[in-house]
């Protein structure tokens, strides 16, 4: 976190579900030690999956759970407020109106400044905005979607009008497809990588997918031409999209962070021609783009 902050990062993402709350505790402890001025950084957290198996405590955005959820989060963070509180997934059973009212109240009580959505469908987001406008409540202002060279459809197609018509923000996640786009899986699964971790079996299929690996391999010549690494190129590609408000990047060690922070310089070198070459590698045809 210190290396990120020194490099200009001011946005730190978390969720109550990460390591069952432990992740917020660890980040809160780090913030206490770092003693940064509170106004100089943002922390965000997300609620949906819940921490307990009680009735209506799992996979929900009901009012009781959201309010108890933010109270628990703030206790773990040892903070008075988070900057953005996200609804980590849409809840198909709780009326959106109930969720909007609860998020509005949380903001009014000063426990969060803004609220957002994560992996919601565009129609659910528009419904939330409309309900908020009807009752003069705080609207959701940003979506936290997956967006990377392999995962483009929802962001580029489904959300297009959200960005254009509503000025909706986006704090995108997994820009390196969990490390796949760094090229580290081209010759198998390194022992010290995320895909080798216990509990990350879900990643195996993707990081051993021959078609995906071939696309990553083909990207190398473009990175070489630009004089950068695959990680830097893949991050730069996300940054280049004007609808991306911020890129939430992950790093398991400081060297990765130092490498990745240079992506900003590469983004300015990405010409239309290079972007077209990248689209071809990833099988995106011109008519699809229009």
Ligand X SMILES: NC(=O)c1ccc[n+]([C@@H]2O[C@H](COP(=O)([O-])OP(=O)(O)OC[C@H]3O[C@@H](n4cnc5c(N)ncnc54)[C@H](OP(=O)(O)O)[C@@H]3O)[C@@H](O)[C@H]2O)c1
Subset of 162-181 contacting ligand X (CB under 6 A): 173-179
Return the number of the residue (18 or 97) whose C-beta is nearest ligand X.
18
Residue 281 interacts with ligand X (CB under 6 A)? no
**Closest to 52 (Cα-Cα) out of 69, 71, 28:** 69
- Does position 212 interact with ligand X (CB under 6 A)? The reply is no
Q: Please indicate whether residue 147 is annotated as part of the active site.
A: no
Least Å distance, CB 203 to ligand X, is 9
- Contact set for ligand X, span 131-150 (CB under 6 A): 144
Give the E-state strand segments of the chain in sequence order.
11-13, 42-47, 82-87, 112-117, 140-143, 169-173, 246-248
Q: Is 13 in the site for ligand X (CB under 6 A)?
A: yes
197 Cβ contact list (under 8 Å, min separation 6): none
- By CB under 6 A, the count of residues binding ligand X is 24
Q: Which of 18, 41, 81, 166 is catalytic?
A: 18
Per-residue binder mask for ligand X (CB under 6 A), 233-262, x = binder: ---------------xxxxx---x--xx--
- Considering the complex, what minimum distance in angstroms separates the CB of residue 70 from ligand X? 16
Whether residue 121 contacts residue 157, with contact meaning beta carbons closer than 8 Å, is answered with no
Within residues 23-52, the interface with ligand X by CB under 6 A covers: none
Min separation Cβ 258 and ligand X, Å: 9
Which C-beta is closer to ligand X: that of 17 or that of 96?
Answer: 17
- Applying the rule CB under 6 A, the residues between 71 and 130 that interact with ligand X are 118-119
Q: Which is nearer to ligand X, 259 or 279 (CB)?
A: 259
H helix runs in 117-270, sequence order? 122-135, 153, 160-166, 204-207, 210-226, 230-240, 254-260, 263-267
| Nearer to ligand X (CB atom), residue 97 or residue 250 | 250
Say how far apart CA 147 and CA 210 lie, in whole Å: 21
As measured in angstroms, the least distance from the Cβ of 189 to ligand X is 9
Q: Which of 73, 142, 231, 246 binds ligand X (CB under 6 A)?
A: 231
Of 21, 77, 71, 23, the closest CA to residue 51 belongs to: 21
Both tokens of 128, joined, read 């939330």
Which residue lies nearest ligand X, judged by its C-beta? 250
The rounded radius of gyration (Å) of the Cα atoms in the chain is 20
Q: Cβ 241 to ligand X, closest distance in Å?
A: 15
Nearer to ligand X, 62 or 193 (CB): 193
Going along 29-119, which residue ranges are E strands?
42-47, 82-87, 112-117
Query: 59 or 97, CB closer to ligand X?
Result: 59
Task: Name the strands in the sheet holding 246-248, side by side, starting at the edge strand that comes first in the sequence.
Answer: 11-13, 42-47, 82-87, 112-117, 140-143, 169-173, 246-248
> Quick one: which H or E segment has residue 104?
helix 96-108
Secondary structure letter of residue 268 according to DSSP: T
Question: By the criterion CB under 6 A, which residues form the site for ligand X?
Answer: 13, 118-119, 144, 173-179, 182, 184, 193-194, 231, 248-252, 256, 259-260
Which amino acids are annotated catalytic?
Answer: 18
């Amino acid at each position: 976190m210190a290396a990120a902050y020194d490099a200009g990062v001011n946005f730190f993402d978390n969720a109550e579900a990460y390591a069952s709350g432990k992740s917020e505790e660890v980040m809160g402890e780090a913030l206490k030690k770092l003693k940064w001025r509170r106004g100089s950084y943002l922390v965000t957290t997300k609620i949906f999956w819940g921490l307990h198996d009680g009735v209506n405590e799992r996979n929900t955005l009901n009012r009781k759970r959201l309010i108890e959820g933010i109270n628990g989060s703030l206790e773990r963070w040892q903070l008075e407020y988070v900057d953005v509180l996200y609804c980590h997934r849409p809840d198909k059973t709780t009326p959106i109106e109930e969720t909007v009212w609860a998020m509005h109240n949380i903001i009014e009580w000063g426990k969060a400044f803004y609220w957002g959505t994560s992996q919601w469908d565009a129609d659910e987001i528009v419904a939330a905005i409309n309900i908020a406008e009807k009752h003069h409540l705080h609207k959701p202002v940003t979506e936290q979607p997956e967006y990377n060279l392999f995962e483009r459809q929802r962001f580029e197609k489904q959300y297009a009008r959200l960005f254009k018509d509503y000025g909706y923000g986006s704090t995108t996640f997994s820009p390196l497809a969990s490390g796949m786009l760094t090229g580290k899986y081209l010759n198998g699964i390194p022992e010290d990588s995320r895909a080798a971790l216990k509990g990350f079996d879900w990643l195996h299929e993707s990081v051993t997918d021959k078609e995906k690996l071939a696309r990553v391999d083909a990207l190398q010549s473009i990175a070489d031409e630009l004089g950068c690494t695959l990680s830097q190129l893949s991050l730069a590609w996300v940054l280049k999209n004007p609808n991306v408000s911020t890129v939430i990047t992950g790093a398991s060690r400081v060297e990765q962070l130092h490498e990745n922070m240079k992506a900003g310089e590469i983004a300015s070198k990405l010409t239309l021609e290079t972007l077209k070459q990248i689209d071809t590698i990833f099988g995106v045809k011109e008519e699809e783009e229009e």
